Amino acid sequence: MDLSFTPEEQAFREEIRAWVHANLPADISHKVHNALRLSRDDLQRWARILGKKGWLGYAWPQQFGGPGWNAVQKHLFEEECAMAGAPRIIPFGPVMVAPVIMAFGNAEQQQRFLPGIASGDVWWSQGYSEPGSGSDLASVKTRAERKTLPGRGDVYIVNGQKTWTTLGQYGEWIFCLVRTNTEGKPQAGISFLLIDMKSPGVSVRPIVLLDGEAEVNEVFFDNVEVPAENLIGEENKGWTYAKHLLSHERTNIADVNRSKRELERLKRIAKAEGVYEDLRFRDEIARLEVDIVALEMLVLRVLSAEKSGKNSLDIAGLLKIRGSEIQQRYSELMMLAAGPYSLPFIEEAMEAGWQGDFPGGLAANAPLASTYFNLRKTTIYGGSNEVQRNIVAQTVLS
Ligand SMILES: Cc1cc2nc3c(=O)[nH]c(=O)nc-3n(C[C@H](O)[C@H](O)[C@H](O)COP(=O)(O)OP(=O)(O)OC[C@H]3O[C@@H](n4cnc5c(N)ncnc54)[C@H](O)[C@@H]3O)c2cc1C
C-alpha cells in the first residue's frame, strides 16, 4: 500500500489549487473560514461556479459529463476546496440522487435531471426520514398509490410526511422513499420517487434547532400528484436504490478535509486567547490532530484500495463515526479555548460584518456557540453513530 502522492498527482493538486484560488469568491471563503452564516445565494453561487467548470459533479464519470477523475484526484479536489475555504457542496443533488439516477434511472430521466444537477441550477432535498422512521428507515409510511387519471395518464398520489429535511426550505425537487406496498417484508414495499416541490399539496415547515437556525424542515404531502415517469427503476425496489445512496452519504459525511481546516482555526483561536502555550491545552490539540491524521490515513487507505480495484465502501460507517466525533471535538475545544467569551449565544453574530456589543471579549468568538450547538447533529444524521457501530460490527468485524 503506497500512501504517498505521485508527481502527476502533485501537479494535479497545484492545478486545482490555482483554479480554486482564482475562482472562489473572497466573501464566501471569509464566511467559511470564520464559520459565519452562508446564505442560499452563497451556496448556489459557488455551486454554479463549479458547475460552469464541470466540477460540481466532480465524482461523476465522463459518460455523464463529469471529469472522470480517479479516487485520488477526487480526494485532492475535496482537500484543496476545503482548505481554501470553499463551502461544502450541498450533497443531495450531485452526490446523492445523481449516482442513483445514473445507476438505476432510464435514459430519459438521465437527460431530464442530470444537467440541472451538474450546473447547480436545481436544488434537491432528501426525503428519507419520517417521524418514527429514522434508524428504522424501512418502516416509512408515506404512501404512494398508482392511479390512471383521465387526460393525465399514470400518476402516484402521495400522502404523508417527511422530517429533518435539510435545507428543504430551498428545495425545488425532493427524492423520496415512499410506500407502494404494505404486504410482505417492509423493505420490499418501498419505491424511489422524484417529486417536484412546487406541486400542489407539498408544504414545508421549518424546525428551529438549538443554534437558532432553521436548517431542517418537515415536508408534508397532501394528495400530491406525481407523474409515474418520475419513478426511479422498478416499483417496490426502492430499498436497493436507497442503500446505494447511503454508502455515498456516509463517506461524504466523514469530511476529514473540513476537520483539517478547522484544526488550523482552533490553533488560531487558542493563540489569540493565550492558551496555546498551556501544555494541558496543547495536549488536547495534539490528541485531536493525531486523530485527524489517523482518519486521513484511513481515507487514504480506502483510496489506495480503490485505486487497485478493491471495493472498500463497507468501512463507510467507520469513517462516519470517527469523522463526526472529530467534528464535535474541535468545536468543543474552540469553546474551551475562548472560555467565557464563547458562552453568550448571539445568533446575529453568525452574520458577516457583525460588530455587536460583545461583553469584554473578542467579537470573533461570538459565533462559536452556534457552531458548537450545530455540530451536535453530526453523530445523529446520516444514520446515527450507534446504528453505524452495529453495521460495522456486522459487516467489518464479524
Ligand atoms: C441536522 C439533521 C439533518 C438531517 N437531514 C436529513 C435529511 O436531509 N433527510 C433525511 O431524510 N433525514 C435527515 N436527517 C434524519 C437522520 O437521518 C435521522 O435523524 C437519523 O437517521 C436518526 O433517526 P431518528 O432521528 O428517527 O432517531 P431514532 O431512530 O428514533 O433513534 C433515537 C436514538 O436511538 C438510537 N437507536 C436507534 N436504533 C438503534 C439500534 N438498533 N441500536 C442502537 N441504538 C439505536 C439512535 O442511535 C438514537 O440515539 C437529519 C437529521 C439531523 C439531526
Instruction: Return the CATH fold of 255-397.
Output: Butyryl-CoA Dehydrogenase, subunit A; domain 3 (1.20.140)
Instruction: Tell me the whole-structure pTM to 2 decimals.
Output: 0.94
pLDDT in tens, the chain (398 residues): 566 889 999 999 999 999 999 999 999 999 999 889 999 999 999 999 999 999 999 999 999 999 999 888 998 999 999 999 999 999 999 999 999 999 999 999 999 999 999 999 999 999 999 999 999 999 999 999 999 999 889 999 999 999 999 999 999 999 999 999 999 999 999 999 999 999 999 999 999 998 889 999 999 999 999 999 999 999 999 999 998 877 665 566 778 999 999 999 999 999 988 999 999 999 999 999 999 999 998 888 877 777 676 655 567 788 889 999 999 999 999 999 988 878 777 778 888 877 766 555 556 677 888 899 999 999 999 889 999 999 889 887 77
**Distance in angstroms (rounded) separating the CA atoms of residues 244 and 325:** 24
Name the residue among 252, 251, 258 with its Cα closest to residue 81.
258
Ligand 1 center to 379 CA (angstroms) = 9
Q: Decide: 381 in ligand 1 pocket, CB within 6 A.
A: yes
Domain locations in the chain as residue ranges: 7-88, 124-236, 255-397
Is the Cβ atom of 373 under 6 angstroms away from ligand 1? no
Q: Which superfamily is assigned to 124-236 in CATH?
A: Butyryl-CoA Dehydrogenase, subunit A, domain 2 (2.40.110.10)
Residue 164, φ and ψ in degrees, nearest 5: 60, 30
**Ligand 1, atom nearest to 390 Cα:** 42
**Contact status, residue 179 vs residue 140, Cβ threshold 8 Å:** yes
Closest residue to atom 48 of ligand 1, CA basis = 384
Cell digits for 390? 452495529
- Find out whether the beta carbon of 394 lies less than 6 Å from any atom of ligand 1: no
The domains spanning 124-236 and 255-397 adopt the same CATH topology: no
What's the Rg (C-alpha) of the chain? Answer: 22
Tell me the C-alpha distance between 118 and 105, whole Å.
16
In short, whether 181's Cβ falls inside 6 Å of ligand 1 is: no
Q: Is the CB of 377 under 6 A from ligand 1?
A: yes
Q: Is 68 helix (H, G, I), strand (E, B) or coil?
A: coil
Protein residue with least CA distance to atom 23, ligand 1: 134
Q: What is the pLDDT of residue 1?
A: 59
Mutate which of 92, 96, 123, 135 for ligand 1 pocket (most atoms within 8 A of beta carbon): 135
Instruction: Measure 380 CA to ligand 1 centroid, in angstroms.
Output: 5
